[in-house]
Structure 1
């Protein structure tokens, strides 16, 4: 059955991969993000392949803009079946006591507050319909801190706690909640973390074959299409030579 899937941060990385995978699955996709040019380019490509696509340009950190976008959805797009809370970022690797205040705000406002905003806007409709699925993109970083990870790790630990809490809150409904916890994924994630230092970002993936956005999207689509009585609550996805957030064997 065709679903309506809303994906935040759909202009690159895991979010873009989810957009493509859900569209290939025959679902209607709502793509959200800050970059209008990328949104429209991806939408045009998917539409050319026969997908039904709607784009919403806003930053999840802007609660009023997010609210206006969701509340302004056309009637035939409002019954969102799957919410993929993907928008997120890491900034910096400084020790906690030397951290950048703006970096902290960016991570907390996006990874935690942005996720909460979208959950608050979309999930009440799911509860009313007694149907829906929330897929939160967490991280292996939420399981244990690693050197330089401090605040980022804290935000992803919050994603785990919020996913667990929401799952408890909707346990009396048919709604499912999934927390995906990727390890090393090669996207523009590291480029953002290092504020555009491409060479430094590339070194993170040297000596190991990392995961791709497609690998994570495959798991998201699988979880969303599991039988109704099956709730894929949490999935840790690591590259073969990664054992944890801090143990990576490079060859």
Structure 2
């Protein structure tokens, strides 16, 4: 999260704040809020996106500010007893058009020490303090003094003396990723290979990922392994070559209480058969068309429709292309497969044109790797020994390398569209 970060809803902002707190060992609370209903009364001509809820919000460190400085009783002790105005804060307000929330000011300086032990041991008060059994001022001061890393002036010191500011090293999230934290990504072909690696990377970076494939057991295993990560992974069975299953997939996402929409789709499902143009099997040609082209395009169409229905105007579409979609090798066994990838090259530009026609900020990116060390070749050859012999002939790309390319394009500034990434191993000749 940085100055200028934007969020389409209050829920997305809260998810980003939650991640920010965990990464920077700070507890924040909301104060000085103004709802959009209140703002509308002041300016009836201004139109707000109802999902942002607030016109302005300030997130302040719980170790200082209003919760600890008041003349009330209970959790908010008398100012003569405690004064701990920590300047650490994040200010958020609605954009000029009233459609998004944006971070416009950040003060990342504490007046107290910060350690992970203190952060983990602090008991955050519940939001509705009236229903909470609140400790008195003396008990609160005593509990704070027991935290060795937390210091502030108490009775007998000079409460008017300015607090000693101490700079804290802030561990920032991956640049550009903060606006995607808490948002939803669909990854097809997530049971193995590139799709599996992309799903894992997006969960690690804080996204809510839906992984789909004909075989979901590997995705379910990955979901259990990733339970302690920032994001989450939901496995849904779907054969993208069947339109009815694709539509059911998106209906399930739309009705899911923790998902509801799509912000990113990574079309990584694909397959190849050794089916030459002049002697290949028609059923194998049709299989490649159904998955590589029709399945990819059906998923993309349904994703864009769902984005429009849910008001998502800044999504991202990824198409897993191939170097075979940019050059033709003298290998008859992959000519038809390469033809499907040439069509992906054309589809990428066609989708970009139609997105521009819709005047949306949603972007489209193709990722075009050459040979990647996955089970792709074992399935194409229908011979794992032959595939292993080929993959051992050089140091080829790994699935993680392709996932990194996806993240690179995803985290580019909103005004930058990375149209296509062509990548091959250094040792690869063709």
Question: What TM-score, normalized by structure 2, do the two folds share?
Answer: 0.55
Structure 1 counterpart of 2:264: 82
Deviation at 1:126, TM superposition (A): 2.7
Secondary structure of the residue that 1:236 maps to in structure 2? strand
Deviation at 1:48, TM superposition (A): 4.2
Contact 1:126 1:175 in 2 (8 A): no
1:177 equivalent to 2:360? Answer no
- Out of 115, 122, 134, the residue aligned to residue 303 of structure 2 is 122
Deviation at 1:95, TM superposition (A): 2.9
Structure 1 counterpart of 2:278: 97
- Aligned equivalents of 2:260, 2:315: Cα separation in 1: 12
- Aligned equivalents of 2:312, 2:278: Cα separation in 1: 47
Structure 2 counterpart of 1:11: 191
Structure 1 counterpart of 2:127: none
1:227 equivalent to 2:413? Answer yes
Moved more, 104-113 or 46-55: 46-55
Structure 1 counterpart of 2:316: 133
Moved more, 35-44 or 82-91: 35-44
- Aligned equivalents of 1:66, 1:125: Cα separation in 2: 13
Question: What TM-score, normalized by structure 1, do the two folds share?
Answer: 0.92
Deviation at 1:86, TM superposition (A): 0.5
Runs of at least 4 residues off by over 3 Å = 48-51
Structure 1 counterpart of 2:201: 21
- Out of 184, 203, 211, the residue aligned to residue 31 of structure 1 is 211
Structure 2 counterpart of 1:165: 350
Structure 2 counterpart of 1:41: 221
- Aligned equivalents of 1:145, 1:109: Cα separation in 2: 21
Structure 1 counterpart of 2:403: 217
Q: Deviations over 1:22-56 (max 9, x none)?
A: 11111111110011321211221122445312111
Q: Deviations over 1:64-101 (max 9, x none)?
A: 01101211221431321110011001111x43211122
- Aligned equivalents of 1:114, 1:66: Cα separation in 2: 8
- List alignment gaps of at least 5 residues for structure 2: 1-178
Task: Report which of the two has the higher share of helix.
Answer: 1
- Aligned equivalents of 1:178, 1:215: Cα separation in 2: 16
Q: Which structure has the higher relative contact order (CA within 8 Å, separation 6+)?
A: 1
- Aligned equivalents of 1:123, 1:154: Cα separation in 2: 25
- Aligned equivalents of 2:276, 2:266: Cα separation in 1: 31
Q: What are the residue-to-residue correspondences of 1:44-59 with 2, within 5 Å?
A: 44-49=224-229, 51-59=231-239
1:207 equivalent to 2:390? Answer no
CA root-mean-square deviation: 1.4
- List alignment gaps of at least 5 residues for structure 1: none
Contact 2:273 2:334 in 1 (8 A): no
Secondary structure of the residue that 1:141 maps to in structure 2? helix
Deviation at 1:6, TM superposition (A): 0.5
Structure 1 counterpart of 2:378: 191
1:111 equivalent to 2:292? Answer yes
- Aligned equivalents of 2:230, 2:191: Cα separation in 1: 19
Contact 2:276 2:336 in 1 (8 A): no
Q: How many residues align?
A: 242
Point out the structure with max Rg over C-alpha: 2
Secondary structure of the residue that 1:149 maps to in structure 2? helix
- Aligned equivalents of 1:104, 1:95: Cα separation in 2: 9
Contact 1:7 1:32 in 2 (8 A): yes
- Aligned equivalents of 2:292, 2:389: Cα separation in 1: 25
